[in-house]
Structure 1
């Protein structure tokens, strides 16, 4: 297994029309979840990936498992909760701006994810464990599970990748900051957005941010800079990598997860730091071209064509 990740995936209802949600009457059903997004994106890039969670033993939980399994991700460790429901998300769309997000996830099945849901051997046999700050924010039980997963990965010398993925609808800055900083000291790869890094460290210079995380103990830092691309560094070097210009995007949700998947794919394939950053920027950019959280993630050949490294043959 190349990567194992875990966290909450919800059923996503995306309105077929723009404007206030009160006037939306028809919706397209899909799924949304940062960790499953990364898992699906990595699978499309040719990697063997496992995702686990706790979902309700209801039709929505079965739908989530079906979709993710259908993308080639292993879901054999997903727990079906007999007592609690699967979480839901509704989007509210306006023209070419980030959608508003409404969560219905309080007391969801995944908020009761706990250390007993972890499979030691499942984590042990992976090359990378990918975690996010969202799971840390769900509940004290889920937070304990993240810490336990990190403990297992460290003991078994599994690389740990961490995307802070701040969600202020789940917890406050005051609650999040010390926990996210503590996790940052325990991981090998950190993938913050520039605004998240500024919130955590109180500085906004990518080079300074990178040095601070490296001093904490991270081995690799990739700072997302939006349309400007990213700044990547390790113990030996650091550099900016230009992003891709998208004149008209459909949906920015999932772009950060695509970035994470592209970067981890580069690491797994033995690419250089710069090449991994280029891959990350490309996958993140392509995610914005399609409506939906995970629908726009490309295959390897598609991303190579997008980057101009392969020629597209249309007929």
Structure 2
């Protein structure tokens, strides 16, 4: 298996018109979750990915498992819970460049994941384990499960990739979130923070100083996301380098861009690209996703990705 990722995905309801959620009368249902977004992004690029999670024994769970399986992702370690529901969340497009997200995930099936529930062979065959800072915030049992996954990965030579993906609403307080995000970062081989997450962890610094602070935690490779400006990359074998981003004329939906970035970087590494070229692929993936409504809907296949990197897609293909 190329990449294994563990975490919660929820049913996503998006209003069919822009404006405040209170005025919405009709919605489209999609699915969204950082870890499954990464798994789908990798699968569309031809890689083998596995998503591990727990879903409610409900219609949302049925539809979600079918959708993700249909994207070519291995869902053989996804289990169902008869006593807890599949989580849901809503997006609100208030106006241009003002998107808000509301979660309804407390006591969801995914929050019941535990160390006892996680099977060793679900992780042990992976080249990379992708984790985020969302999963440990769901519950104490999820933190224990993630610790087990990390232990299995380290015992089998699996590289650990950590995206902080800060979601303050799911943590008891900022101090708890800060402690655990630093802890999981320090246990990982590659970390993919954004500027706002780095500021939360370390206070006000320059992007270059943030990179050094992450290295000081013992992290081999740091890839600092700079939004439309691109990314900074630094590792033991690559000096600090800025990789340019790709311009986007109009951002339709920014949610999921970081997950697409992670999928692009992992894809490049799996293909044996130099680190800077892998990050360039990540930048392209992140840009492409922002131009489509939905968490996973804008994730490209290889031909679309290559066209975009090489100069953009035509307005009309005939």
TMscore range, shorter length? over 0.9
Structure-2 separation of matches of 1:98 and 1:252: 10
- Partner residue, 2:220: 219
Runs of 4+ in structure 1 off by over 4 angstroms are 309-313
**TM-fit CA distance, 1:169:** 1.4
Q: Secondary structure at the match of 1:25?
A: coil
Cα distance change, pair 311–93 in 1 and its aligned pair in 2 (3 A) = closer
Matching residue of 2:256: 254
Deviations 1:154-201 (A, max 9, x none): 111100000000001112321100111111111000000011012112
CA distance in 2, matches of 1:310, 1:175: 43
Conserved? CA contact 1:98–1:252, under 8 Å? no
The 5 Å alignment of 1:282-301 reads: 282-301=284-303
Is the alpha carbon distance of 1:292 and 1:187 closer, same or farther for their aligned partners in structure 2, counting shifts above 3 Å? same
Instruction: Tell me, in whole angstroms, the C-alpha distance in 2 between the residues paired with 1:98 and 1:43.
Output: 30
Alpha-carbon displacement from aligned partner over 1:59-103 (angstroms, at most 9, x marks no partner): 111111011001100101001001111100011112322421111
Unaligned runs of 5+ in 1: none
Match of 1:93 in 2: 93
In structure 1, C-alpha distance between the alignment counterparts of 2:158 and 2:295, rounded to whole Å: 28
Q: What residue number does 1:182 align with?
A: 183
Aligned 1:127-142 pairs, distance under 5 A:
127-142=127-142
Equivalent residue, structure 2, for 1:314: 317
Displacement after TM superposition at 1:132 (Å):
0.2
Matches within 5 A, 1:1-80: 1-80=1-80
Once residues 28 and 134 of structure 1 are traced to their aligned partners in structure 2, the CA distance between those partners, rounded to angstroms, is 24
Question: What is residue 267 of structure 1 aligned with on the other side?
Answer: 269
Asked if 2 retains the 8 angstrom alpha-carbon contact of 1:3 and 1:49, the reply is yes
Q: Which runs of 5+ in 2 are unaligned?
A: none
Q: Distance in 2 between matches of 1:98 and 1:156?
A: 43
Q: Decide whether the 8 Å contact of 2:304 with 2:313 is kept in 1.
A: no
CA RMSD in angstroms comes to 1.4
Partner SS, residue 219 of structure 2: coil
Indicate conservation of the 8 Å contact 1:194/1:206, yes or no.
yes
Q: Deviations over 1:96-129 (max 9, x none)?
A: 2242111111111111111122121121101000
C-alpha separation in 1, matches of 2:51 and 2:40: 9
The aligned residue for residue 304 of structure 2 is: 302
Aligned to 1:166, the other structure's residue is in SS state: coil
Q: For residues 86 and 56 of structure 1, what CA distance do their matches in structure 2 show?
A: 4
Distance 1:305 1:116 in 2: 45
For the residue of structure 2 that corresponds to 1:93, the secondary structure is: strand
Which segment is superposed worse, 84-93 or 200-209?
Answer: 200-209
**Contact 1:11/1:89, CA 8 A, preserved across alignment:** yes
C-alpha contact 1:194 1:204 (8 A) present in aligned 2: no
Whether the aligned pair in 2 keeps the contact of 1:96 and 1:248 (CA below 8 Å) is no
In the alignment, the residues of structure 1 paired with residue 117 and residue 295 of structure 2 have an alpha-carbon distance, to the nearest angstrom, of: 26
